[in-house]
Amino acid sequence: MRRAWWLVPAVLLVIALALTGCSSSKQEVAPAGLTGDWHGSIEIPDHPLAVGISFTGGDQATIDIPAQGVEAAPLSGVTNDADGVAWTITKIPGNPSFQGKYDKGSDSIQGQFSQSGQTFPLNLTRGKVEGPPRPQEPKPPFPYKSEDVSFPSGDITIAGTLTEPNTGGPFPTVVLINGSGANDRNEELLGHKPFLLLADTLTRAGYAVLRTDKRGVGKTGGHLDTSSYQDLTDDIGAGMAFLHGRPEIDAKRIGLLGHSEGGYLAPLYTMRPDSGVAFVIMMAGPAVPGSDVLVEQNRLILTAQGATAEQIDQQVAFNSTLSTLLRSGDLEAAKTYVRQHNDSLPADKKLSDAQIDELVTPYMAALVGYDPAPALSALRVPVLAFYGSKDLQVPAAQNEGPARTLLAADPDATVHVFDGLDHLMQPADKGTPDEYAKIETTIDPQVLTFVTDWLTQRFPTAH
């Protein structure tokens, strides 16, 4: 398990759905060594899930799940011969797997996907899987400069993309700061690329924008799980230093836009003496301690998914105890507690040792133990903090009030709640994470306009 949305794993959404149904079909013998790209849908009632399988020969294959942002993830237990076609997705509770055979008449692989004792039809035909519609995703050619860049941060190299208008300058600049977990420079998840869209919108409006891969992701070095908030704010500082060395950047007008956990890190870095930060934008950035957010997001998401009061109480109690142990700094005690809890779960719900190791890390301890109050109270630059009323991960009801209180001494602080939007600032129904992939909108246009207008009123560009 990785961090979820804010703290929970994206890839588990597919595999953790409560699934029902079964199917069977007549099948033919497979030719030896099917290769290439195949695609189909796991026929989950009311939730069909498109997948792509790429056979690269022998016992090697990968899976794509576009709606989950999963690309070329390796499969295990791959067989691809006259006896049939099979594979397993590793490190996921419930042992998700496929069993099928090649059907010569239809030139297809026909079989069933199983997880947690339940089975769904999955028939594959030749060709690559298509991703869900993402009408807002920017496509080249772009009417501005886009440059892959890299710069040092301590003993690692940070990699990212710097976009700039074609003319004018020096440019006011926005540095995008990722949410929690292993995010790339586009903050890609579930087929959406919100940071690509933000960078495109702001650059077209006349701003330079720097976005980077997080530690241990993409072309950036290091390891996220062993990182502290000191490390992550050092990385922001490295980006600031890099920008100060670019003559086309207005060094006095560089600000930070952080999404989710990035809304923790942006004010925290701004507290540093001589940080040089001109403004802070918090997009669904928490204004209460991480442990409080973790407990409340679990309670709200489970409630929206129809969990019983007993199930909710058990999960809240587990997260509360785990948060306390993580905040204490005793990671071995926290890991022991998680293992004991895991032992009490049904076999199809158990986490692997690797998943437990990923759940209890110095990085998770930093996130859960962080209190944003000192940094928010110290801000004296223009600040925009905004939330979605249907966000179940960083709930507006939990964070709006504290944000207003903590920013009260700032002479230019705006706190705003968008009605009907979720954690990604999408128009939502319930606001649960399992809706994110189904919503075509990446960021509601009203949010893009609101942010751009707020910026241009304070830091006008040549456009």
Q: Is the pLDDT of residue 415 over 70?
A: yes
Q: What is the pLDDT of residue 355?
A: 83
CA 78/CA 66 separation, integer angstroms = 21
Indicate the angle between helix axes 290-304 and 396-406, nearest 10 degrees.
150
CA 272/CA 277 separation, integer angstroms = 9
Task: Name the more confident of 449 and 27.
Answer: 449
Give percent of the chain with pLDDT exceeding 90: 78
The pLDDT of 420-430, averaged and rounded, is 98
CB of 374 within 8 A of CB of 288? no
Provide the CATH topology of domain 145-288+372-458: Rossmann fold (3.40.50)
Q: Is the pLDDT of residue 430 over 60?
A: yes
Q: Is the pLDDT of residue 351 over 90?
A: no
Task: Name the more confident of 24 and 37.
Answer: 37
Q: Is the pLDDT of residue 30 over 70?
A: no
What pairs with residue 421 in β-bridges?
427
Span(s) in the chain for CATH 2.40.160: 12-126
Among the ranges given (123-132, 138-147, 264-273), the one the predictor scored with the smallest mean pLDDT = 123-132
Among the ranges given (116-120, 158-162, 268-272, 442-446), the one the predictor scored with the smallest mean pLDDT = 116-120
Residue 34, CA distances (Å) to 62, 75, 121, 266, 297 in order: 13, 15, 20, 50, 44
Residue 271's pLDDT band (cuts 50, 70, 90): very high
CA 422/CA 444 separation, integer angstroms = 10
Q: What is the overall mean pLDDT for the chain?
A: 90
The pLDDT of 413-432, averaged and rounded, is 98
Among the ranges given (64-68, 108-112, 180-184, 259-263), the one the predictor scored with the smallest mean pLDDT = 64-68
Any residues with CB less than 8 A from the CB of 132 and at least 6 apart, and which?
50, 66, 67, 191, 437, 438, 440
Q: Is the pLDDT of residue 396 over 70?
A: yes
Q: Is the pLDDT of residue 4 over 60?
A: no
Q: What is the pLDDT of residue 32?
A: 54
Task: Name the more confident of 141 and 57.
Answer: 141
CB of 210 within 8 A of CB of 160? yes
Among the ranges given (14-28, 84-98, 199-213, 246-260), the one the predictor scored with the smallest mean pLDDT = 14-28
CB of 294 within 8 A of CB of 398? no
Q: Is the pLDDT of residue 255 over 90?
A: yes
Residues 49-89 have pLDDT tens digits of 899 999 987 789 999 988 776 788 899 999 988 779 999 99
Q: What is the pLDDT of residue 348?
A: 75
CA 401/CA 384 separation, integer angstroms = 14
Beta pairing class for 97-103 and 84-88: antiparallel
Provide the CATH topology of domain 12-126: Porin (2.40.160)
Span(s) in the chain for CATH 3.40.50.1820: 145-288+372-458
Q: What is the pLDDT of residue 457?
A: 98
CB of 157 within 8 A of CB of 150? yes
Residues 158-211 have pLDDT tens digits of 999 999 999 989 999 999 999 999 999 999 988 899 999 999 999 999 999 999
Residue 94's pLDDT band (cuts 50, 70, 90): confident
Q: CA angle, 258 as apex, 257 and 259 as ends, to 5°?
A: 125
Q: Is the pLDDT of residue 277 over 90?
A: yes
CB of 283 within 8 A of CB of 194? no
SS (H, E, C) the chain: CCCECCCECCCHHHHCCCCCCCCCCCCCCCCCCCCEEEEEEECCCCCCEEEEEEEEECCEEEEEEHHHCEEEEECEEEEEECCEEEEECCCCCCCCEEEEEEECCCCEEEEEEEECCEEEEEEEEECCCCCCCCCCCCCCCCCCEEEEEEEEECCEEEEEEEEECCCCCCEEEEEEECCCCCCCCCCCECCECHHHHHHHHHHHCCCEEEEECCCCCCCCCCCCCCCCHHHHHHHHHHHHHHHHCCCCEEEEEEEEEEECCHHHHHHHHHCCCCCCEEEEEEECCCCCCHHHHHHHHHHHHHHHCCCCHHHHHHHHHHHHHHHHHHHHCCHHHHHHHHHHHHHCCCHHHCCCHHHHHHHCCHHHHHHHHCCCHHHHHHCCCCEEEEEECCCCCCCHHHHHHHHHHHCCCCCCEEEEEECCECCCCCECCCCCHHHHHHCCCCCCHHHHHHHHHHHHHHCCCCC
Nearest to 159 by CA among 222, 82, 70: 222
Q: Is the pTM of this model over 0.85?
A: yes
